[in-house]
Chain A
């Protein structure tokens, strides 16, 4: 019976709404007081049922809930025969709850979309070697699973046989499919775009990368800040206090109408719901944009950040060196490039890799008499020509003559932080290449956006030499840049900044920077989602996408503003209601309930704005 009534809450709301309007209509049109009174009595009796049941359940576990206040108020209104107010208050309360549910679902939708991407079933190999569809919860580590085209990978695993390409957007945010073959790792929640593979389960359920991400986001949306915990405690005592207050007022003034009005006005609503609503909408927006924010505490701190410290390699720069600039001298360059590639092919030096990548397709020739010159490079015979590949010192040893232009090029390349590779053919300089770890495209603009978002200091720390660091710093317009730093130097530097009273965010790839990530007020990991970085950091930028950083900062600022607005609205409404109760004539229970429900809807709608938040391109 109880459950039936609670389940039909929406129907009851509708019926009581119809009864109320029918009552008012008959009263205006035919002026029949009896029909009017009875329709209102039925409406309020019907409407108060689900509220009273909830109130009773609350009292049973010793909680004075808002349902208790409303039930007493409605009973009070019955006693003084004010059926009009009783009916309207119950209707508004029920209708408000209905709207709240609808709008709250909306604010939570972004995160729900994420959790709904979780795989549900798997094709598991059974004893006779065939595959059978089972619930994903029944898959254990070591099971062999079949994944067909278009299906979700059910668990984290390793490919046993077959090949295909997988869309890993749900884990990395990267929409380009990744090719998988025997021995490749695959992740739960990713989608097999084409091909068929068999995998062995390595991690299942909540242990998978996807499971951990969901767990994190779910915990984040319900994590509470200091302020929220205070509000929670406050509201625990607030509701019983309102009850006591109205009793005292009722006893002293003997005015039941006043006492029950206090009950309705005192309902805490917007205050308790305001902050969680902003929180869930903000975190949901982040999740949609590949930003994991770990809770409201993080949002509060991040929005106030004044210094951002960046790791260089892999964060501001791409992470692997490539040819940034090049110059050719004289004729027969194609031939010279072929010789250079042939020599570099024999080497496993990191610069050689960059050179080969730059040259691409070419004619390779046999290399003879290879001589490795320590600290210089390589000299060898190719096609009967003497080829030298290496630095300036090697060229001098080979008696290569530098033209004025070549000299100028060398010093220019060095100045911009390049490592140099020169190639000579028969003692004549042919090729000059400047190789460096290049700045990620778009980083400069992103840093500018961060500055506009009132980040005062942009600092770069790196293990590279100061010359390289300075070159990058000049190009990006950073506030400070320090080279020759070991991971422990970086964390010591961050500690120094924090001790100076700055709020510091550290942005790193999380592989060797975990101490700094943990130490900074906000640790921001550029993770592809599979790293330990997820655990140690406060914010994760999926797929290592630097361009999400300004959005993340703007979003936390907007979310934190939104929370403050909601608290302001909630407190303001209660104050205005109480003041008007004391100083005005027009305040009654129905208006009180209307304002109360409206304020709850206003804070939810205000929070919902965050779902659409975008960084303005100014």
Chain B
């Protein structure tokens, strides 16, 4: 398991959070409990199984929603 922190473009609408939350949780290999979408700091924090998917998959899920991922960081848990 790895821990990912993704910095997104500035989030302004509260319903963005719901969308991002659902889209990320729908990915196979993401620890659903750990997903945290932060409104004010415009970040997504989550733990994921790096054997099942890569951070690029997560980034893609968010960019297809229409939100830009500015920076992502992956750390060991």
Contacts and interface: CB of A to CB of B under 8 A. Distances in A.
Nearest to A271: B14
Contacts of A2: 66
A61 B61 CA distance: 10
B41 interface: yes
A273 B14 contact: yes
Nearest to B22: A61
Contact of A222 (B14, B39, B65): B39
A222 B15 contact: no
A232 to B, nearest CB: 8
A104 B10 contact: yes
Contacts of A236: 18
Contacts of A54: 66
Contacts of A443: none
B15 A58 contact: yes
Nearest to B43: A218
B40 A58 contact: no
B70 interface: no
B22 A63 contact: yes
B26 interface: yes
Given A61-B22, A63-B19, A65-B18, A279 B40 contact: yes
Contact of A57 (B12, B43, B64): B64
A97 B66 contact: no
Interface residues of A, dominant DSSP:
helix
B41 A61 contact: no
A280 interface: yes
Interface string A1-22: 0110010000000000000000
B63 interface: yes
B23 interface: yes
Interface residues of B, dominant DSSP:
mixed
Interface residues of B, number: 20
Contacts of A66: 13, 15
Contacts of A466: none
A281 B58 CA distance: 30
A276 interface: yes
B15 A63 contact: yes
Nearest to B5: A206
A479 interface: no
Contact of A97 (B13, B22, B63): B13
Nearest to B15: A65
Interface in B16-71: 18-19, 22-23, 26, 38-41, 43, 63-66
A105 B66 CA distance: 19
A250 B22 CA distance: 30
Contacts of B12: 97, 100-101, 104
A280 B14 contact: no
A396 B65 CA distance: 87
B63 A280 contact: no
Contacts of A455: none
B40 A222 contact: yes
Contacts of A53: 66
A65 B19 contact: yes
Contacts of B22: 61-63
A62 B41 CA distance: 25
Interface in A92-115: 97, 100-101, 104-105, 108, 111
A54 B18 CA distance: 12
A3 B63 contact: yes
Contacts of A101: 10, 12
14 contacts: A3-B66, A6-B66, A58-B19, A61-B19, A101-B12, A105-B10, A108-B10, A111-B40, A218-B43, A219-B38, A222-B38, A239-B15, A273-B13, A276-B40
Given A100-B13, A221-B40, 14 more contacts: A2-B66, A58-B18, A62-B22, A63-B18, A65-B15, A66-B15, A101-B10, A104-B10, A111-B41, A221-B41, A222-B38, A236-B18, A272-B14, A273-B13
3 A-B pairs closest in CB distance: A272-B14, A65-B15, A222-B38
